[in-house]
Structure 1
Amino acid sequence: MRELRWVSEEGEGIEHLAFDARSDGFSAESVVVGQRYGQAYGLHYEVRCDPQWRTTYAWLKIVGGAEVELHGDGDGHWHDGHGVALSSIEGCIDIDIAATPFTNTLPIRRLQLAEGERKPIAVAYISTPDLQVTRVEQAYTCLALNDEYRYEGIFREFTADLQIDLDGLVLDYPTLFRRLPSAN
């Protein structure tokens, strides 16, 4: 298990993430204390993926507020914590939690892009702090294999070149997040 932290570059905020890679898949548990659109929040979340990095479970809870639970089958079919099908995100394999750079790891690892290759995808975007889940269009391009990837938020005309470590976890997300050095 690895533990790491990111700080927000657009305001006050920090995230502490515990990441575990096992033969049956990947999991992360995290706490984010941040501010978005002038509103302070605390967020606790858990994400699980299968060995191919397809998201199979996500649970998010805003301290004193909203809670969302998503279950995916890895093939783009989703239901909530009550078993209700979520047709609005049908076909999405990945999730993108607005408050964290961690969820960029999911498509970076799952897509296995060759250097120079670009792939548009639809993701289940979870806004913070209201936890609204919507389908959005994004794209990833491998700029330097296992080192740097371009993220395009097509739905909001935003682009960032992300530097990653050997696990595919973001080191630097210009203007938004920066990884803190390990305390070990």
Structure 2
Amino acid sequence: MPGDPQILWRRLDRPGHDACRIRSDMNGQGLDGVAVWLDGGGPAHLSYIVTCDEAWRTRSARIQGRAGRRDLTLSIHRDDLGIWRISGEEVPELNGLQDIDLGFTPATNTLPIRRLRAQSKDSAEIGAAWLDPSDWTLKLLPQHYRRLDTGWHYASGGFEADLTVNADGFVTDYPGMWIEEDAHGRS
């Protein structure tokens, strides 16, 4: 749909970009995008589609493309009971989680941010099913979000950052990692 919010990010830790949109249609809502960057093994390009329910809880994610020398086609699903599967294989340590975190893009921060805003929550401890780009497996990633005047404070493990967020729930400044490109390609 032409009215769907969209964003273009520039990667700051290495050459790369990500174009993403929030979509809402008869089939549900979610995100779709394409990330390109210079991976340790060479150029990488991955398209992703994340489908969510009406509360912005992940239902599925599909990732396809190439990272360095590795071709990737990943199909991730979370059923109504909260059971996660990647390419049909259950990942029991993730059961009950609501969010996917695609480690190669800031797009999936949008999911808990939109849900927390809708619930008028100022903070939350969240566990995400994290797609780790070092080995492309799903892992448990405990996360903490706390509302700020300009966005959200995000913490996970030893990592912390104050994320600037726009009205659509997209991160516009992820310090040291990603920044929104303006309409003229500048950040």
TM-score of the superposed pair, with normalisation by structure 1: 0.85
Counterpart selection for 1:92 from 89, 97, 103? 97
Equivalent position of 1:79 in the other structure: 85
Equivalent position of 2:180 in the other structure: 179
Q: Tell whether 2:55 aligns with 1:49.
A: no
Per-residue CA shift, 1:92-141, capped at 9, x if unaligned? Answer: 110111111110011111233657x3321111000226421111111111
Instruction: Give the counterpart letter for 2:179 in structure 1.
Output: R
Instruction: Give the counterpart letter for 2:9 in structure 1.
Output: W
Per-residue CA shift, 1:36-92, capped at 9, x if unaligned? Answer: 45653211111111110000010112325122111113553222343x322131121
Equivalent position of 2:144 in the other structure: 139
Question: Aligned pair in 2 of structure 1 residues 37, 118: CA closer, same or farther (>3 Å)?
Answer: farther
Counterpart selection for 1:118 from 115, 119, 123? 123
5+ residue gaps, structure 1: none
Could you say what secondary structure the match of 1:166 adopts?
coil
Shift of 1:6: 0.4
TM-score of the superposed pair, with normalisation by structure 2: 0.84
- Aligned ranges 1:50-69 → 2 under 5 Å: 50-63=53-66, 64-69=70-75
5-14 vs 68-77, which deviates more?
68-77
Identity of aligned residues (%): 29
Q: Tell whether 2:20 aligns with 1:17.
A: yes
Question: Aligned pair in 2 of structure 1 residues 39, 128: CA closer, same or farther (>3 Å)?
Answer: farther
The whole-number CA distance in structure 1 between the counterparts of 2:6 and 2:56 is 19
Instruction: Give the counterpart letter for 1:163 in structure 2.
Output: T
Q: How many residues align?
A: 177
RMSD between superposed Cα atoms in Å? 2.2
Per-residue CA shift, 1:157-177, capped at 9, x if unaligned? Answer: 001111111111111111000
Kept after mapping to 2: 8 A contact 1:25/1:53? no
Instruction: Give the counterpart letter for 2:79 in structure 1.
Output: D
Shift of 1:35: 3.0
Could you say what secondary structure the match of 2:168 adopts?
coil
5+ residue gaps, structure 2: none
